[in-house]
Structure 1
Amino acid sequence: MTSRSPGARVRVPRAEREAQMLAVAEQVFSTRGVQAATMDEIAELVGVTKPLIYDYFGSKEGLLAATIERARGQLLSALIDSWVARPLAAPRERVHGAVHAFFSFIDDHDSAFALLRTEGALIGEASASVERIRQQTAKAFAEGLRTLPAFVGLEPRRVTVMAEILIGGCERLAVWRTTHPGTTATEATELVVTTIWDGLCSVPDA
């Protein structure tokens, strides 16, 4: 049995350390703002040296982009899981579930969503990451719609446009909720589904 001296530093696996850095960075960027946030503060809160963060991410912009990419992956997983969770449910219920997954994710990751709302301050790699979130979220909605009976065989471009409209409505309502508290994820979901989906579902027959 080996003993560890009282001041010895415990080596943390790279993946675990990276996750710690991203979680702290998400909080600092959203609280301080992208411009005001410093690598020194992030390093201190994580408990590592600033050079180590640069070694992982290359720059402050690289850290910000990685933070946004982390949120992108989590949101995408939530949407995909919602589509496959109830394959035999009615189309409206499946769309309702996906939209609710979107708003629930926003509520559970408000600091990550705060970063996306400050996109005017994002440049380069970070700005590109925000756009990837939009594209891949819309793609996830489109792929989900294509599994619905009424949309099978429909021209792919039309389904893509419908998904863009659907996710656009979700995004705008999500932003509106930040300045108008009190609308729950369930209420927001019903607003989107009633306003947008109930109109879109008639398009295949038009």
Structure 2
Amino acid sequence: MTSRSPGTRVRMPRAEREAQMLAVAEQVFSSRGIQAATMDEIAELVGVTKPLIYDYFGSKEGLLAATIERARGQLLTALIDAWVAQPLAPARDRVAGVVHAFFSFIDAHEQAFTLLRTEGALIGEASASVERIRQQTAKAFAEGLRTLPAFASLEPRRVTVMAEILIGGCERLAVWRTTHPGTSADEATILVVTTIWDGLASVSGA
């Protein structure tokens, strides 16, 4: 059996290596701050050379954007899964399930959410990635609402606005929770459903 000397880079499939880089980058960006994080530190923690990271992502901004895009995809998957999990449940329960999935995802991906909260420090591609997350999350909410009988007959634009209000409330409450610990995902869901959804339901008749 041959032994590998310390510092020797382990070869792995590109997709696996990319996922490793993104996981480490998420940790470093969120803990150090976007400006203070360095490609040297990320490369060292991954166990690769800095030029290899540039080969994958082009720049520090490209790596940051890819990290945010990774979180976007994971969040969308969680929301879609929540919509289809209870197809026969009452509308309020289905919406509550999606809202709970939103807060549960944030709790499980605190480092990724830290990046999204620092959007004021983001520029270029990374800033655009944050906006895509917002738009696609709202779109997922809107598409889910349109599957509910009470919303099916409403003007599409109106449903889109309702979804924007719903996701906007979730986002602001999520930010508030970061400075007011102790509010669980269950409690946050109740707050959103009773404050926002019950109002929207009165408009739609749901």
Structure 2 match to 1:77: 77
- Stretches (4+) displaced over 3 A: 3-10
1:201 is paired with a residue of what secondary structure? helix
Structure 1 distance, partners of 2:4, 2:181, is 48
Structure 2 distance, partners of 1:35, 1:93, is 42
For 1:34-113, what aligned pairs fall within 5 Å after superposition?
A: 34-113=34-113
What is the CA-CA distance between 1:203 and the residue it aligns to? 1.1
RMSD: 1.3
Structure 1 distance, partners of 2:189, 2:22, is 29
Structure 2 match to 1:173: 173
- Would you say the 8 A contact 2:9–2:47 is kept in 1? no
Structure 2 distance, partners of 1:55, 1:171, is 34
Listed as ranges, the gaps of 5+ residues in structure 1 are none
- Name the amino acid aligned to 2:13: P
What is the CA-CA distance between 1:205 and the residue it aligns to? 4.2
1:56-115 CA deviation, whole Å, 9 max, x = no partner?
000000000000000000000000000001100000000000000000000000000000
Structure 2 distance, partners of 1:204, 1:174, is 26
- Name the amino acid aligned to 1:163: A
Structure 2 match to 1:28: 28
Structure 2 distance, partners of 1:71, 1:106, is 10
Structure 1 match to 2:200: 200
Structure 2 distance, partners of 1:110, 1:6, is 35
1:95-142 CA deviation, whole Å, 9 max, x = no partner?
000000000000000000000111111000000000000000000000
Structure 2 distance, partners of 1:203, 1:33, is 43
What is the CA-CA distance between 1:51 and the residue it aligns to? 0.3
1:171 is paired with a residue of what secondary structure? helix
- Name the amino acid aligned to 1:89: A
For 1:93-172, what aligned pairs fall within 5 Å after superposition?
A: 93-172=93-172
- Compared CA separation, residues 47 and 127, structure 1 to 2 (3 A): same
- Compared CA separation, residues 27 and 6, structure 1 to 2 (3 A): closer
Listed as ranges, the gaps of 5+ residues in structure 2 are none
Structure 2 distance, partners of 1:58, 1:180, is 38
Give the % identical residues: 86
Could you state the TM-score of these two structures normalised by the residue count of structure 1?
0.96
Structure 1 distance, partners of 2:10, 2:117, is 37
Could you state the TM-score of these two structures normalised by the residue count of structure 2?
0.96
Structure 1 distance, partners of 2:203, 2:173, is 23
What is the CA-CA distance between 1:153 and the residue it aligns to? 2.1
1:9-49 CA deviation, whole Å, 9 max, x = no partner?
53110000000000000000000000000000000000000
